[in-house]
Amino acid sequence: MADEFAKGFGILMTAGLGWMIIAGWYQTPSFSGAQLFGERPSDPGVYAELALTLGDALFWFAAFGALAFWLVIPAGRKLRAEIESRSG
């Protein structure tokens, strides 16, 4: 169980840090306004659009990756153990 927690935590921290860096570069118009969730640039270049797409992917990977290792995999293992114990 600790192994799944560590993997989920690693995904959350690594992907979350990547998202925060990209969002800080491209979605923080000023320090007094909205930070990390500000509006996207109106006319981004090719590299900025790639970075923003990567940032969105990292955000969702952090959220769903951590949930997968913290909830889905342990629940699946318990369900499999329960099914094996009932059939055996």
- Concatenate the DSSP letters of all residues of 54-78 into one string: HHHHHHHHHHHHHHIIIIIHHHHHH
Task: Convert the pLDDT of each residue in 26-46 to its tens digit.
Answer: 888 878 877 888 888 888 899
pTM of the predicted protein model? 0.82
Q: Provide the mean pLDDT of the chain.
A: 91
What pLDDT is attached to residue 63? 96
Domain that holds residue 73: 2-87
Taking 70 as the pLDDT cut, the residues of the chain under it are none
Q: Please count the structural domains in the chain.
A: 1
- Give every CB contact of residue 69 below 8 A, 6+ residues apart in sequence: 4, 5, 7, 8, 11
Apex 36 CA angle, 15 and 61, nearest 5: 25
What pLDDT is attached to residue 8? 95
What pLDDT is attached to residue 60? 97
CA separation (Å) from 17 to 8, 13, 25, 68? 14, 6, 12, 19
Separation of alpha carbons 36 and 20, rounded Å? 7
What pLDDT is attached to residue 38? 80
Identify which of 1, 2, 19 has the alpha carbon closest to the alpha carbon of residue 64.
Answer: 19
